[in-house]
Amino acid sequence: MKALVTGGCGFLGSHVAEAFLREGFEVVAYDNLTKHELERTGYATEAARAHLRERLEGLGVTVQVADVRDASALLDAASGCDILAHTAAQPAMTIGWEQPGLDFETNLAGTRNVLEAARRHGLPVAACSTVHVYGPGLNDDLHETPTRCARRPPMVREDEPLLRTGANGRLTPLHASKAGAEHYVRVYADQYGVRAASFRLTGLYGPRQFGGEDHGWVANFAIRALLGRPLTIFGDGRQTRDVLYADDAAAAFVAWQRQPQAGAFNVCGGPERELSLLECIDLLATLLGTRPQVAFEPARPGDLRWFCGDSARARAAFGWEPRVLPAEGVRRLLGWAAEHRALFAGSEPGA
């Protein structure tokens, strides 16, 4: 059996590639090796991307340097494969504001290329979506506690309306590209019979993540705190996610391929894994024995202040559920970052 993982040298993709390796698959990591996200972290070095590639190649993964925007290369790479896991993406709302063309070409056109490769080769495909497809209208239904946002009902199910804007919400290119990609997944399932699924992912974190202020906030906080650098919060810090550890997210792809079926699935942490920005800082202070410095900036338009997903559909359909709780997951993330300090620019405050 052979798996093709788009974005396979990235954070989530590398975990998905390793998960398929453990299942006995031959794995191809299809990745353009962009450094765009790494440059926005303020601390990841040139060695960071190479670290992920070298790790995978050392484990026996074949790395193909190519872009999901290249339909011909993608079609060739999918030949001879048995499963396609699509993790390549433009993941940040802020990058979407700044470069809507890149956002469209990567998230929407790129996903269409992946689906066409799956159709042409008769492959099942699971594609990464995001809980942002529900839209910022969820912000209208919230109440606040001293440390977090909360909602009734306490979880979002897949039948929730998409792209709700609400009273003060604002849609961004990322909302459009991710929701559009989900529509294409459904079209390829309905029109062409492709076994195509969308995984609505939330709050991903874990080892090998180089998070920035506009994506991967748990890793951004953890690594900056470890390096003694100040953290930036946009808003009041009560923003809350049901964070999901990378190995748990990767396990969803492996579980799904055993009985692939079409549809949209929340792949989320659930209520036991809800964590606000303020609570994450408290957790880091406990684990590190010192409290990070925090600067507050104005809230960003379009941000979703709360999300907690109900993953009952994924559990019923292919037996997936998360396992790692935030205290353990963040501890593992800090352990990895401490072990790989050489990947980060400087280890002293202000370096």
> CA–CA separation, 291 vs 347, rounded Å?
16
Q: 276 forms bridges with which residues in the sheet?
A: 240
Question: What Cα–Cα distance (Å) separates residue 192 from each residue in 182, 189, 202, 248?
Answer: 15, 6, 29, 30
Q: Is the pLDDT of residue 215 over 90?
A: no
Tokens found for residue 247: 């190995």
> CA–CA separation, 14 vs 16, rounded Å?
5
Q: Break the chain into its structural domains and give their ranges.
A: 2-141+154-210+243-272+307-325
Secondary structure of residue 224 in the 3-state scheme: helix
Count Cα neighbours of 208 within 13 Å in the Cβ-side half-sphere: 21
Tokens 């550890």 -> residue: 245
> CA–CA separation, 246 vs 82, rounded Å?
23
The class of domain 2-141+154-210+243-272+307-325 in CATH terms is: alpha beta
Q: Is the pLDDT of residue 164 over 60?
A: yes
pLDDT of the residue at 348? 41
Task: Cis check for the bond before 153: say yes or no (omega within 30 of 0).
Answer: yes
pLDDT for 107-137, tens place per residue? 999 999 999 999 999 999 999 999 999 999 9
Residue type, 43: Y
Confidence of residue 347 (pLDDT cuts 50, 70, 90): very low
Confidence of residue 350 (pLDDT cuts 50, 70, 90): very low
Going by DSSP bridges, is the β-strand pair 142-144/149-151 parallel, antiparallel, or unpaired?
A: antiparallel
pLDDT of the residue at 46? 77
